[in-house]
Amino acid sequence: MDEKQQLIGTLPVVNDISEQRAQAKKSSRWGTIKLITSCAALVALLHWTFVLPQLPLKHHGKHGKHHHHQKSQCPQVEPLVPSQQSDQLVNMDAYLKSSTFLNSSIQRLAGAVQIDTQSFDDLGAVGKDKRWEVFYPFHEYLEETFPLVYEHLKVEKVNTHGLVYTWQGSDAKLKPTLLMAHQDTVPVPDATLDAWTHPPWSGYFDGKEIWGRGSSDCKNQLIAILESVEFLLDAGFTPARTVLLSFGFDEEISGGQGAGTLAPFILERYGPDSLAVIVDEGAGISDEWGVTMATPGVAEKGYTDVVITIRMPGGHSSIPPDHTAIGVMSELITLIEADKYPLHLDGKNPYLSQLYCGAEHATEFPKKLGKLLDKAQGQCKAKPDQLAAEAAKAGPAIQYLMQTSIAVDVIGGGVKVNALPERVQAIVNHRINVGEHPADAHAKIAGLAKEVAKKYGLALHSFDNTTEAPSSISLTAFEHVLEPAPVTPTSVEGETAYSVLSGSIRALYGSEVIVAPGIMTGNTDTKYYWDLSRNIFRFAPGYDGESSGLGNIHTVDERVSIKNHVNTVQWFSLFIRNMDEAELE
């Protein structure tokens, strides 16, 4: 055994779920209650010493309801494990914790990373643009790597490269579980190749992490889902609740040809509000305010791109006007960037619930923020929004959970150094805050453009579908305009999709992990799936207790720890079984 193999063999993976369950069975709830009743002086000691650190596992069953303090703003469910525990499933759980599985999983994920599946903004239609053909070898790899999945599940291709897998359940009355990921990756610019520690398509494993484009966004989630299904099949698991897998292929370019065709395909087959739960890529688990917190995304911000086109007379650059079209565009961009959207934490924004969770469970939650949170009382309508302003001091990643963002990302104009530019264009990206709308962004940018148009004697065509005209400023909404996503319910009263997801997290990682609702600043393929389920979660379940951040997604040195990946496999295996037994209310 070489040094790398020795390191792999000794990596800790996850808490032993079966061991947790055995410990829970040994504890006696009624004995504890009797002791507390008879020994009042020991109540506080017992509570802090035994009850909190050893929260008992919850098993499925009609009498196994969740328990939490009635006044809690952030109730936590008990760790949840499935009641169906055949010898094969117990052996599977043990195998997923073994170094043998870890070593084989490295090979599966590394092999997926080694297949280039970049998607580009200028891709043409599927079937016409040859660059889509990179997905053919990726599909072949999946079929070779997961033989049981392809033998037992119905596999369908939508718009050539979209993949839908159906694991038919025995009870048609139960709404299906849908698990999602995307096959494509963002491109790797040639100019950055020499900046990579290990080549972006190498799938290199350094003893701890797998390197390469797609390793953390999000071939790791796609491979983990298929691994969990493969080993459940091998263990003889047969679901009562149908399990669907849906893998798009152009999420990185807004998903129009991938998820945009997959979602209607599933909707036509099953109908509106037909799925029990949807889990796609998203937020994960991190250390916040001194506590480990899982923040599955239960909402997403809205989206709109505004295209600004300025047309002005051309001519020789030796006789220029005071301001060329580029100069006028620069002035307008300066006004746009200077006029930021106000910070506002809407009462429906899930980040408010996350703050309540921090205040209730985190030992290092800021005192000033806690006081403002008490004053807000869930309304968050103060002007200026002091709570949002205080929370935003944590940095841009938090700030933009409560603020519409503006980013001028694309600009072009001018063709020759001695010719005045006749046409200049810029594209301004907006991510719309909860409680606001894309129309608000359109109105705001139109107001600023009106000032500039008047100043320079230009006509203004504002979102009126007018063809570009000479001496004018034209504003159009580019491609997809998206309202902020519907917020997924997060009640844990009874058995809900959120409580099953939460209980699965705490079963795998321990009851010290706090689950809180999260919100995504970016958009996922779930934007096409709103009609299919009220319960949509954007969640990356892998966590290794060490790594932080997003694994360098969308930049050089993208990578993921193998411990993170193995935990992802274990979580999906657990979640599929927990959902299968869930009596959703």
**Four-CA torsion 477, 481, 245, 261, nearest 10 degrees:** -60
* Kind of pairing between the strands at 518-520 and 297-300: parallel
Sign of CA dihedral 212, 213, 218, 222: negative
Instruction: Dump strand ranges (E) for 109-213.
Output: 154-158, 162-167, 177-182, 209-211
Q: Is 288 annotated as a binding residue?
A: no
Q: Is 68 annotated as a binding residue?
A: no
Let me know: does 516 contact 74? Beta carbons within 8 Å: yes
Let me know: does 452 contact 336? Beta carbons within 8 Å: no
Residue 398: name the closest of 376, 374, 366, 371 by CA: 366
CA distance 36 to 19: 26
Assess whether the previous peptide bond of 384 is cis (omega < 30° from 0): yes
What backbone torsions phi and psi does residue 291 show, to the nearest 5 degrees?
-135, 150
Q: Who contacts 447 (Cβ-Cβ below 8 Å, separation ≥6)?
A: none
Query: Is 251 noted as a catalytic residue in this protein?
Result: yes
Q: Is 554 annotated as a binding residue?
A: yes
DSSP annotation of 47 reads I
Among the listed residues 78, 93, 184, 230, the single catalytic one is 184
Q: Is 461 annotated as a binding residue?
A: no
Integer angstrom CA distances of residue 89 from 14, 179, 243, 577: 17, 21, 18, 10
Q: Who contacts 346 (Cβ-Cβ below 8 Å, separation ≥6)?
A: 352, 380, 433, 434, 435
Among the listed residues 227, 230, 251, 581, the single catalytic one is 251
Which amino acid, 292? Answer: T
What is the length of the chain?
585
DSSP annotation of 471 reads S
Q: Is 217 annotated as a binding residue?
A: yes
CA distance 435 to 571: 33
Annotated binding site for Zn(2+): 182, 217, 252, 280, 554
Annotated binding site: 182, 217, 252, 280, 554
Residues catalogued as catalytic: 184, 251
